[in-house]
Structure 1
Amino acid sequence: MTGSIDRRGFLGAAGSLPLLASGAAAQEADDASAAKASVRLPYQEESRARRMKWWHEAKFGMFVHYGLYSIIGHQEWVMESEGIPIPEYEKLAAQFRPKPGAAREWARLAKRAGQKYMVLTTKHHEGFCLWDTATTDYNAARHGAKRDLVREFVEAARAEGLRVGLYYSLMDWHHPDGARCKDDADARERFVGYAHAQVRELLSNYGKIDILWYDVDWPLTPQQWRADAMNRMVFDLQPDIIVNNRNGLEGDFGTPEHRITAEDRAWESCNTMNYGWGYQRSDDQWKPAKRVVNDLTLCVQQGGNYLLNIGPEPDGSVPRGSVETLEAVGAWLRTNGAAIYPADGRAAGAFGNYTNFTKAGDKLYIHVYFWPSRSPAAAVLPSLRPETVVAVGGVRTKVLSARLLKTGAPVAFTQDAIALRLTGLPEVPPDDPTSVIELTCEGTPYVRHHLIRPEWPRYGVNVGGARSS
């Protein structure tokens, strides 16, 4: 996308925002598709704008990684990363007993957080199914819980007015044909049939499903998976559904992971609250609300969505660190939602030292994540007075009015061809973790401070021994 800014660029601008490297990223680097294919299904192409409308408006969703790995508490890749023998790992199935109402707790938390949709790992790479499937007895309805957890999830999300997404891993470490299908044609026929049957069940037994979130198509190519036939089946069963791009096909939206990188299509950044997707009982490196709010803002500013994960504990409880952060984000969104949900992306081509930007119609929203209270340089530089000043170079639209979104209080400002200066602001930030200033503009707003370089009056200070004008 022209003028796009990746996550590294944003964090460079944000300075001291904490950066959490994810151990999961290294594991997932080996899971690329065996090949990519460009298959355009006519129905999918023709109906995409209609099917995606709600998703573009939603902006913020909850990912839920929950399975047998939650019992061990070493993240979701533990079976492979620690080489646990399959007969040993299978013993966890009898111990997998989420408490009644766990899914309702997730859904209520998502709603309080301002998230508009949820995606559940119905089967992760470990191969254990959370629904009552006829394809295998390795499922939650036959062991431990003795319940259909997918049904509970779907009903919980709907009860809170949230859209429903189902994650499905094509890669399977447990199925006997899951690896040998790569070179064994008979095994491939069995395993691909198994995957198609499971997807059919998930999209047939629970009413309307809004998202199918494929993951990891190792070890087969899209042709070997019969991915185009799978997607045709998906749309036959669920005409309004949207699908991602992780079955080797382009899908309806891209899925950058552990990074925020705009694409020239619909895209959704998925990320974790700490280091891993699944529950890690010793991991207390929770992203603070400021980080989550700013990552969400960056996604929206660049025209994408943000899918933020929780990894429930063995009984389905949400770790306290996730709850505290999400509730703080939700409180912020209840005040500042106008700067997020209706925003249409591409508000800016650059960031300030302490600001980011979103826009909706003629409104430009300045997100101030490091409040620039009373700079000591104000005694020398008139441009930093009076009191606290928020200054933005390269605002390419005439500003008509400004106000603090938190309080509604009007904000004084001056504007010329180079800079917009919002003045007389309070010394203490009016909101937490990020304060937002709403500008009403004469037209569609856009910000890019690089644009002022050729226009800036230059005086040649001391060039040739004298100031030139």
Structure 2
Amino acid sequence: MTGSIDRRTFLGAAGVAPMLAPAAVAQEADGGSAATVKVVLPYQEESRGRRMKWWHEAKFGMFIHYGLYSIIGHQEWVMESEGIPIPDYEKLAGKFMPRPGAAREWARLAKRAGQKYMVLTTKHHEGFCLWDTATTDYNSAKQGAKRDIVREFVEAARAEGLRVGLYFSLMDWHHPDGARCKDDAAARERFVAYTHAQIRELLTNYGKIDILWYDVDWPLTPAQWRADAMNKMVFALQPDIIVNNRNGLDGDFGTPEHRITAEARAWESCNTMNYGWGWQRSDQEWKPAKRLVNDLTLCVQQGGNYLLNIGPEPDGSVPRGSIDTLEQVGAWLRTNGASIYDADGRAAGAFGNYTNFTKAKDKLYVHVYFWPSKSPAAGVLPSLRPETVVAVGGVRTKVLAARLLKTGQPVKFTQDAIALRLTGLPDMPPDDPTTVIELTCEGTPYVRHHLIRPEWPRYGVNVGGARSS
């Protein structure tokens, strides 16, 4: 395969409009991280394959954005985007009251959805800490809740057999040195020490942590953050942990946001279920299960993971729109999980008009997201008969058998050098929101319809008349 296919290309093929507000793109770009720096930590390089094995197998995770901003209900950037004075914003800390058991509900939902790991915002840009930290009283254990929410989260995830990830924002709008550290050396020394101390707490007090998910390294460079020392400390405390690339260093995996774009190394697309990460009270623009299943499939097809966000309400409840859709995704995965969890990526170099593809060893999975039945052209074109036909151009290996994953029913097929045609299928899709057809192949499967261009039999230019080869 040469190059990669991003989410915009896929959505165009699928006929699905992007669901991201322009304001969200601009806001996150403006607060984005500095350029990534290549720093090689020998332990990190040598142990990466072992540390990331479970992550590559997991494929699908839950992101959770929860903090004081949830009380306002205007998404997670509200403090800065609306210019709320810090003394006013601090008043929210006394009102932060997640109900007992909320974290367990998140974990149970993740399990039902087929997600294998969870990542919680332990401290977002607002600077409020969801754990019992000795570095500041601005935390959930000393304010309204009087509880360590990180501990509740870690215990809940473990109880459901899920891997534990902790998000941590380097940028801090609340700390007095959080901005002036850019130009004030003494402030920088204090703020960097404060930040390292918080990371040390998170990776010392809660047992084994599987992921550290940094975010936004504004306003310092990796050298000013002492990012290499930061990561050395992280691996000394948690030898099996994996880290992302948002503290200015390469990390173990890339993090494309609001887009699915394959990278040459391990990567994970993080995305929202509606427009925002944190709870937005009026936002009911929930992406349908079909969209989320197809985004997950695209990540897996391109060799990446999918981290899908929920934004709990002020008391920690998950919005009904998130619950309903995630449960649909989970029901689909219980039938079609082999096409996701077992897949090893790079199944295709192009998409069909209504199909996507994943592969696992000698299995090619054809994901049919728009069921191609009852074409008006079926009466004219024999290739669209009998009954419903799923046609795939450019399957570059011999197919030995085909079946519907939903029912196990065998599917008839014909194959030549140009196309594979799966025939005799029902008029209505056998599964919802996407039907998967499993093909057993003679070798490692690969699909790219562009490859058939030079191989297609060509004829004379007098359309409808005599043909010449």
TM-score interval for Structure 1 and Structure 2 normalised by the shorter chain: over 0.9
Please report how far the alpha carbon of residue 466 of structure 1 lies from its aligned counterpart in structure 2 after TM superposition: 5.2
Query: In structure 1, how many angstroms separate the alpha carbons of the residues matched to 2:421 and 2:34?
Result: 52
Query: In structure 1, how many angstroms separate the alpha carbons of the residues matched to 2:460 and 2:81?
Result: 61
User: What's 1:459 paired with?
Assistant: 459
User: What's 1:127 paired with?
Assistant: 127
1:322 and 2:322 correspond: yes
User: What's 2:101 paired with?
Assistant: 101
Please report how far the alpha carbon of residue 275 of structure 1 lies from its aligned counterpart in structure 2 after TM superposition: 0.4
Matched letter for residue 60 of structure 2? F
Please report how far the alpha carbon of residue 409 of structure 1 lies from its aligned counterpart in structure 2 after TM superposition: 0.2
Partner secondary structure for residue 90 of structure 1: helix
Q: Which runs of 4+ in 1 moved over 4 A?
A: 463-466
Matched letter for residue 205 of structure 1? N
Please report how far the alpha carbon of residue 25 of structure 1 lies from its aligned counterpart in structure 2 after TM superposition: 2.1
Query: In structure 2, how many angstroms separate the alpha carbons of the residues matched to 1:335 and 1:26?
Result: 39
Query: In structure 2, how many angstroms separate the alpha carbons of the residues matched to 1:462 and 1:245?
Result: 58
Written as runs of structure 1 = structure 2, the 5 A alignment for 1:175-324 is 175-324=175-324
Alpha-carbon RMSD: 1.1
1:448 and 2:432 correspond: no
Partner secondary structure for residue 350 of structure 2: coil
Partner secondary structure for residue 439 of structure 2: strand
Please report how far the alpha carbon of residue 306 of structure 1 lies from its aligned counterpart in structure 2 after TM superposition: 0.1
Query: In structure 2, how many angstroms separate the alpha carbons of the residues matched to 1:311 and 1:66?
Result: 6
Partner secondary structure for residue 372 of structure 1: coil
Query: In structure 2, how many angstroms separate the alpha carbons of the residues matched to 1:3 and 1:453?
Result: 18
User: What's 1:137 paired with?
Assistant: 137
Please report how far the alpha carbon of residue 36 of structure 1 lies from its aligned counterpart in structure 2 after TM superposition: 2.8
Please report how far the alpha carbon of residue 24 of structure 1 lies from its aligned counterpart in structure 2 after TM superposition: 2.4
Please report how far the alpha carbon of residue 460 of structure 1 lies from its aligned counterpart in structure 2 after TM superposition: 1.9
Moved more, 254-263 or 20-29: 20-29
Please report how far the alpha carbon of residue 349 of structure 1 lies from its aligned counterpart in structure 2 after TM superposition: 0.2
Partner secondary structure for residue 459 of structure 2: coil
CA contact (8 A) 1:36 1:221 kept: no
CA contact (8 A) 1:33 1:221 kept: no
Q: 1:377 to 1:35 in 2, by over 3 A?
A: closer
Query: In structure 1, how many angstroms separate the alpha carbons of the residues matched to 2:159 and 2:340?
Result: 24
CA contact (8 A) 2:367 2:435 kept: yes
Written as runs of structure 1 = structure 2, the 5 A alignment for 1:334-373 is 334-373=334-373
Query: In structure 1, how many angstroms separate the alpha carbons of the residues matched to 2:377 and 2:259?
Result: 36
Query: In structure 2, how many angstroms separate the alpha carbons of the residues matched to 1:356 and 1:2?
Result: 17
Deviations 1:306-350 (CA, angstroms, capped at 9, x unpaired): 000000000000000000000000000000000000100000000
User: What's 1:21 paired with?
Assistant: 20
Moved more, 447-456 or 17-26: 17-26
Q: 1:464 to 1:363 in 2, by over 3 A?
A: closer
Query: In structure 1, how many angstroms separate the alpha carbons of the residues matched to 2:167 and 2:383?
Result: 52
Please report how far the alpha carbon of residue 465 of structure 1 lies from its aligned counterpart in structure 2 after TM superposition: 7.7
Matched letter for residue 320 of structure 2? R
Query: In structure 2, how many angstroms separate the alpha carbons of the residues matched to 1:208 and 1:59?
Result: 20
Matched letter for residue 109 of structure 2? L
Query: In structure 2, how many angstroms separate the alpha carbons of the residues matched to 1:467 and 1:443?
Result: 36
Q: 1:216 to 1:12 in 2, by over 3 A?
A: same
Moved more, 458-467 or 405-414: 458-467
Written as runs of structure 1 = structure 2, the 5 A alignment for 1:401-420 is 401-420=401-420
TM-score by length of 1: 0.99
Deviations 1:67-96 (CA, angstroms, capped at 9, x unpaired): 000000000000000000000000000000
Q: Which runs of 5+ in 1 are unaligned?
A: none
Please report how far the alpha carbon of residue 12 of structure 1 lies from its aligned counterpart in structure 2 after TM superposition: 1.3
Matched letter for residue 422 of structure 2? L
Please report how far the alpha carbon of residue 33 of structure 1 lies from its aligned counterpart in structure 2 after TM superposition: 2.5
CA contact (8 A) 2:172 2:178 kept: yes
Query: In structure 1, how many angstroms separate the alpha carbons of the residues matched to 2:95 and 2:215?
Result: 26
Please report how far the alpha carbon of residue 37 of structure 1 lies from its aligned counterpart in structure 2 after TM superposition: 1.5
Query: In structure 2, how many angstroms separate the alpha carbons of the residues matched to 1:83 and 1:239?
Result: 41
Matched letter for residue 375 of structure 1? S
User: What's 1:55 paired with?
Assistant: 55
TM-score by length of 2: 0.99
Query: In structure 2, how many angstroms separate the alpha carbons of the residues matched to 1:3 and 1:353?
Result: 20
Deviations 1:102-153 (CA, angstroms, capped at 9, x unpaired): 0000000000000000000000000000000000000000000000000000
CA contact (8 A) 1:69 1:78 kept: yes
User: What's 1:389 paired with?
Assistant: 389
Query: In structure 1, how many angstroms separate the alpha carbons of the residues matched to 2:193 and 2:369?
Result: 51
Matched letter for residue 21 of structure 1? L
Please report how far the alpha carbon of residue 387 of structure 1 lies from its aligned counterpart in structure 2 after TM superposition: 0.2
CA contact (8 A) 1:24 1:277 kept: no
CA contact (8 A) 2:36 2:245 kept: no
Partner secondary structure for residue 50 of structure 2: helix
Q: Aligned pair count?
A: 468
Partner secondary structure for residue 8 of structure 1: helix
CA contact (8 A) 1:118 1:164 kept: yes
